[in-house]
Amino acid sequence: MKINSNFLNVKESYLFSTVNKKINEYKETHKDCNIIRLGIGDVTLPLPKVCVEAMEKATKEMGVKETFKGYGDEQGYGFLTQAVSNYYAKKGIVLDKKEIFISDGAKSDLGNILDIFSIENTVLIPDPVYPVYVDTNIMAGRKINFINGNYENNFLPLPDENTVGDIIYLCSPNNPTGSVYNKEQLKIWVDFAIKNNSLILFDAAYEAFITDKNLPTSIYEIEGAKKCAIEFCSLSKTAGFTGTRCGYTVVPNDLEYDGVKLNKLWLRRQTTKFNGVAYIVQRGAEAVFTNRGYQETRKNIAYYLENAKIIGETLRKLGIWYVGGENSPYIWLKCPKDMKSWEFFDYLLDKANIVGTPGAGFGENGEGYFRLTAFGSRENVIEAMKRLEKLDLFK
């Protein structure tokens, strides 16, 4: 038996383990320090009450013969695919229920979708980037091209005549940079994809953080996108589902390559290698899309966005360049005084007891940048910003 040797090409990521190691070492020698973590990529507010109530009800149903549920519907329960379809309708996007696949999260589907594409495709990935786009393709042995996000393009790269990619990853609002493509920019990507017979994998996991009405929350707001894009969405950050696991993937009926509908291929893949999301969790997800669910989830998102705003205001005051922080829970800043990412990490930890994430961990173009997140408590965010303002660096 031979292993898939492509796995040996995946680089070990020491990003978060190194972060934790450095924190622990620091604590050893600074017993009384009060470290504030602004590097956390996980939500901290509890599930909305409406979701809890829906799941309690569903759990009770599972204990009674008459309402017990065994295997669910192939693409997810109709009540949930309908709710997602209605959510898109409010954005002016018409989706058939059969174009929606309920998943256990965007991460699973972003990885598993690659099953239905040839190994021969060349992949195009922005740098800096959420690491799983790269790793999943290395595991499969695909050629990867990178497109540069940088200071000049506000970390929103666009294709030019030299850009080559059959499968294109876009993430907007972006992880890690928090930057958001506008409609004109996405249109350039959609036109590029159609012209080159490419496919866009659009990661919209943070779409619920967009409050600016002019910014697209779905790639299907762009004309032509249904012919060239799959969209991945998640309730992880929308409704605090990181530990509850539910998302959805849209594979439009119009998507056709080599004369084959991708919707049919993905259905085949999922019915063969997946058995759906727990009924209880699907009921919790359904609750997110009710009016009450919308209000409760938006309240939590507003809380995180206010944190981001407080961080952004401080950075502006200190003259630090950054993107994100609006329409996103992430703030991507240029390290002051041209420090390297890890240099700034060490400095912040030592001088302010603040932990963030070094940008260099997200790709070559992340060097010299730093990610802060808005998922902490208000109290900690305010305290951290006070500490930041007092640093000698800014005097």
In the region spanning residues 313 to 372, those forming contacts with a second copy, defined by CB under 8 A, are none
Rg (CA), the chain: 22
Greatest Cα pair distance in the chain:
70
First to last CA, the chain: 63
Site for a second copy, residues 59 to 88, rule: CB under 8 A:
59-60, 62-65, 68-72
Q: Which of 275, 295, 299, 378 binds a second copy (CB under 8 A)?
A: 275
CA distances from 179 to 32, 109, 186, 389 (A): 37, 23, 13, 24
Establish if 286 lies at the interface with a second copy (CB under 8 A).
Answer: no
Q: Does 214 bind a second copy (CB under 8 A)?
A: no
Interface map 136-155 toward a second copy (x if CB under 8 A): x--x----------------
> Do residues 387 and 354 make contact, with C-beta atoms less than 8 angstroms apart?
yes
Sole binder of a second copy in the list 95, 116, 287, 385 (CB under 8 A): 116
* Among the listed residues 55, 93, 170, 251, the single contact to a second copy using CB under 8 A: 55
Backbone angles phi and psi of 171, in degrees to 5: -135, 115
- Residue 277: CB minimum distance to a second copy, A: 7
Which residue stretch of 24-32, 111-119, 322-330, 380-388 sits at the interface with a second copy (rule: CB under 8 A)? 111-119
Mask: binding to a second copy, 174-213, rule CB under 8 A, as x and -? -----------------------xxx--------------
- Please tell me the number of Cα atoms within 13 Å of 364 on its side-chain side: 5
Q: Interface with a second copy by CB under 8 A: which range of 1-9, 20-28, 218-226, 346-354?
A: 1-9
Distance between CA atoms of residues 293 and 102, nearest Å: 18
Partners of 332 in the beta sheet? 323, 371
Nearest one of 258, 270, 3, 268 to 141, comparing CA atoms: 3
Question: From CA 271, how far away is CA 292, in angstroms rounded?
Answer: 33
Q: Provide the minimum distance between the beta carbon of 38 and a second copy in the complex, in angstroms, as a whole number.
A: 16
- Site size toward a second copy (CB under 8 A) is 75
Burial track 38-60 (b if 16+ CB lie within 10 A, e otherwise): bbebebeeebbebbeebbeebee
Please answer whether residues 332 and 369 qualify as being in contact, where contact means their C-beta atoms are separated by less than 8 angstroms: yes
Which of 4, 29, 34, 214 binds a second copy (CB under 8 A)? It is 4
Q: Does 89 bind a second copy (CB under 8 A)?
A: no
Q: Which two tokens stand for residue 108?
A: 């699973």
Which lies closer to a second copy via its Cβ, residue 139 or residue 318? Answer: 139
Nearer to a second copy, 26 or 257 (CB): 257
For residues 288 and 285, what is the distance between their CA atoms, to the nearest angstrom?
A: 5
Q: Which range binds a second copy by CB under 8 A, 14-22, 78-86, 257-265, 385-393?
A: 257-265
Interface with a second copy includes 121 (CB under 8 A)? yes
The only residue of 15, 132, 318, 391 in contact with a second copy, by rule CB under 8 A: 132
Under rule CB under 8 A, residue 260 binds a second copy: yes
Which is nearer to a second copy, 57 or 334 (by Cβ)? 57
- Going from the C-alpha of 94 to that of each of 28, 76, 156, 221, the distances in angstroms are 57, 18, 27, 10
- Strand, helix or coil for residue 127: strand
Contact flag: residue 28 with a second copy (CB under 8 A): no
- Smaller CB distance to a second copy: residue 284 or 325? 284
